[in-house]
């Protein structure tokens, strides 16, 4: 898996394919390749490593053709290599294919096709699909692809060309995203919208188990069973390509950290009406809280951390039971779900495979589903009953920053709107909390300005360390989890988070002279408990960083570094506390000279299990 592009039209396809792949670099990859239809046949070039290697090889090939497909690969089957890179072809070089996802029954299919005399040269499951389409190919590419996909098990998005039918691309989507861009006598194909925003803002978003037959002057969309979808909806995208560019920042991650005040404003401004929170556009009823007796929150990675923070808030503020679980675990147990359960799924991309599977499981059991996602027309947005769009704009860096803060802020809005529905809560308190939410964009801007230089200095020290610990209590523990994840994602320094009160139950054995410990202390009601734990690590020689609210009293001899947050309601101060942790990860990775926007082995949208 990772990024798919395709082009069919009057222009030379190769530069357009390479440009599209460049726009999808943020998804993470280990190799890349393109295939272009020429008069003499399909010409193919692919290289392990970054796109500059593919660009150099493509320049030497002098491509000249108006139809082509391309791919950036993130290895799932077979190690990264030129041979395992996409595109892949069948034994006769008639069928050429690129593929995202995993074909789960590739071994059985490979054995069957090998017995038919087909020869395999790579270790990939994708090559099996190319051979299977070739096996069924007679004189119509769409029919061959349709027969092949009926045998494939797993998740996949594919783009397929044939040497025999030179002006045609067949695209199929099953549990892995794919979009078709609509142009003037030219059309585009990609796994994500930013690939072709320079060329079009008009797209078809393929639904699950849909197939597109793409020519330069025509696009037809079919179901996997072959029925034409005559009323396929077109989607206008209101992003522009400039939003996905670095705009003078060295990395997308730093740009996106600095965009957080604006993205928070985008989230809040449409949901605040006359000083009150209005979530009616999401599909939530005015009295939604009374419809449910429990809430389940399911997500992965950073999105899971936002949900974990929400568990503490929603139970405390609304007195409703909340379970939070990583999606890959939720889907393989038997959750206690019924029609009185509200399932909240959280996903920046809206295409996270495990989260989609959990959504479908709970929905089949009767739960109502509310999605928090940044991607309109994504699978999760379409399959959920209600949606709060995060409005964070395109997030390019693999390590999520502004999408995370908007997830947290969306949960803040849910909590305050739920408080409004509680008869035992003073309406003035709800108004005050709403006013506190309105302050978040400006306070987050202050947080970036006030903490950045301090964090740069701390990063100089942390970049030399091998192990770093993060501690916190209550919502601060969930922030510690996110801070540790950010640091290890992009700096590759071992970082772990622990509930502060658990240190003495084993973890304290790992704390020794000069080991950094980052303590989150935004919860003033339990700050004294947190600080006692910080003193425990300081007594064992730890180098301590404390992040707490401005004006908090503490023993300064126990703290080596301190970052103070602007004064704010302790429920919401956590959103400000994450900003210095994002900056710490960024500047530490910068000093360590790591690939910040595309950390090794990671991808932006995980569309396989």
CA 225 to CA 235: how far, in whole Å? 24
Q: How many residues does the chain have?
A: 609
Q: What share of the chain is helix, strand, coil (3-state, %, to 5)?
A: 40, 25, 35
> For residues 302 and 395, is the Cβ–Cβ distance under 8 A?
no
User: Which residue is it, tokens 């695209």?
Assistant: 171
Question: Which tokens is 527 given?
Answer: 């700050």
Question: Which tokens is 242 given?
Answer: 């400039």
> For residues 337 and 343, is the Cβ–Cβ distance under 8 A?
yes
CA 179 to CA 232: how far, in whole Å? 12
CA 128 to CA 108: how far, in whole Å? 10
Question: Which tokens is 518 given?
Answer: 């980052």
Q: Which of 2, 47, 311, 594 is catalytic?
A: 2
Question: Which tokens is 578 given?
Answer: 């994450």
> For residues 541 and 512, is the Cβ–Cβ distance under 8 A?
yes
> For residues 470 and 530, is the Cβ–Cβ distance under 8 A?
no
User: Which residue is it, tokens 């808030």?
Assistant: 313
Active site residue 604: yes
Active site residue 300: no
CA 23 to CA 25: how far, in whole Å? 6
CA 434 to CA 411: how far, in whole Å? 13
In 10 A of CB 370, how many CB atoms? Answer: 25
Q: Which of 43, 216, 486, 604 is catalytic?
A: 604
Residues annotated catalytic, as ranges:
2, 604
């Amino acid at each position: 898996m990772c990024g798919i592009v395709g082009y069919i039209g009057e222009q030379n396809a190769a530069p357009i394919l390479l440009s599209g792949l460049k726009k999808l670099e943020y998804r993470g990859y280990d190799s890349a390749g393109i295939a272009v239809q020429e008069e003499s046949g399909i010409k193919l070039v692919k290289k392990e490593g970054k796109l500059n290697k593919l660009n150099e090889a493509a320049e030497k090939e002098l491509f000249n053709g108006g139809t082509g497909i391309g791919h950036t690969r993130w290895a799932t089957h077979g190690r990264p290599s030129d041979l395992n890179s996409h595109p892949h072809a069948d034994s006769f070089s008639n069928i050429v294919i690129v593929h995202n996802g995993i074909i789960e029954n590739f071994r059985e299919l490979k054995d069957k096709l090998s017995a038919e005399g087909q020869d395999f040269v790579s270790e990939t499951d994708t090559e099996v699909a190319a051979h299977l389409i070739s096996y069924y190919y007679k004189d119509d590419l769409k029919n061959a692809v349709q027969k092949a996909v009926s045998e494939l098990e797993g998740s996949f998005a594919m783009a397929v060309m044939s040497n025999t039918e030179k002006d045609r691309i067949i695209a199929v989507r099953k549990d892995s995203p794919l979009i078709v861009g609509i142009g003037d006598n030219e059309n585009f194909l990609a796994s994500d919208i930013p690939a072709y925003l320079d060329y079009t803002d008009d797209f078809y978003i393929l639904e699950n188990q849909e197939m597109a037959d793409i020519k330069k002057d025509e696009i037809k969309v079919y179901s996997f069973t072959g029925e034409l979808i005559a009323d396929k909806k077109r989607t206008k995208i209101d992003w522009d390509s400039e939003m996905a560019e670095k705009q003078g920042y060295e990395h997308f991650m730093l740009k996106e950290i600095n965009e957080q005040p604006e993205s928070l404003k985008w989230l809040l401004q449409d949901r605040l009406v006359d000083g009150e929170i209005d979530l009616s556009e999401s599909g939530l009823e005015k009295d939604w809280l009374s419809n449910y007796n429990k809430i389940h929150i399911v997500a992965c990675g950073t999105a899971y951390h936002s949900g974990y923070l929400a568990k503490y808030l929603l139970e405390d503020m609304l007195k409703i039971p909340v379970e939070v679980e990583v999606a890959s675990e939720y889907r393989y147990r038997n959750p206690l779900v019924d029609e009185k359960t509200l399932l909240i799924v959280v996903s920046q991309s809206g295409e996270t495979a495990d989260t989609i599977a959990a959504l479908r499981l709970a929905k089949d059991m009767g739960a109502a589903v509310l999605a928090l996602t940044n991607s309109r027309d994504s699978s999760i947005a379409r399959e959920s009953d209600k949606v709060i769009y995060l409005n964070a704009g395109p997030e390019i860096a693999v390590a999520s920053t502004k999408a995370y803060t908007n997830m947290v802020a969306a949960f803040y809005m849910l909590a305050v709107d739920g408080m409004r529905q509680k008869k035992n809560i003073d309406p003035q308190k709800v108004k005050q909390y709403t006013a506190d939410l309105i302050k978040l964009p400006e306070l987050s801007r202050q947080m970036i300005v006030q903490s950045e230089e301090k964090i740069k200095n701390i990063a100089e020290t942390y970049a030399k360390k091998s192990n770093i610990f993060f501690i916190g209590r209550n919502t601060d523990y969930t922030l510690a989890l996110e801070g540790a994840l950010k640091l290890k994602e992009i700096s590759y320094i071992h970082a772990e988070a622990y509930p502060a009160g658990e240190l003495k139950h084993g973890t304290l054995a790992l704390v020794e002279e000069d080991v950094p410990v980052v303590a989150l202390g935004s919860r003033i009601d339990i700050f004294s408990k947190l600080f006692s734990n910080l003193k425990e690590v300081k007594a064992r020689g730890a180098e301590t960083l404390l992040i707490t609210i401005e004006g908090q009293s503490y023993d300064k001899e126990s703290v080596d570094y301190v970052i103070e947050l602007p004064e704010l309601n302790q429920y919401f101060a956590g959103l400000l506390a994450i900003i210095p942790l994002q900056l710490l990860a960024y500047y530490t990775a910068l000093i360590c000279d790591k690939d910040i926007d595309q950390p090794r082995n990671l991808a932006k949208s995980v569309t396989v299990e």
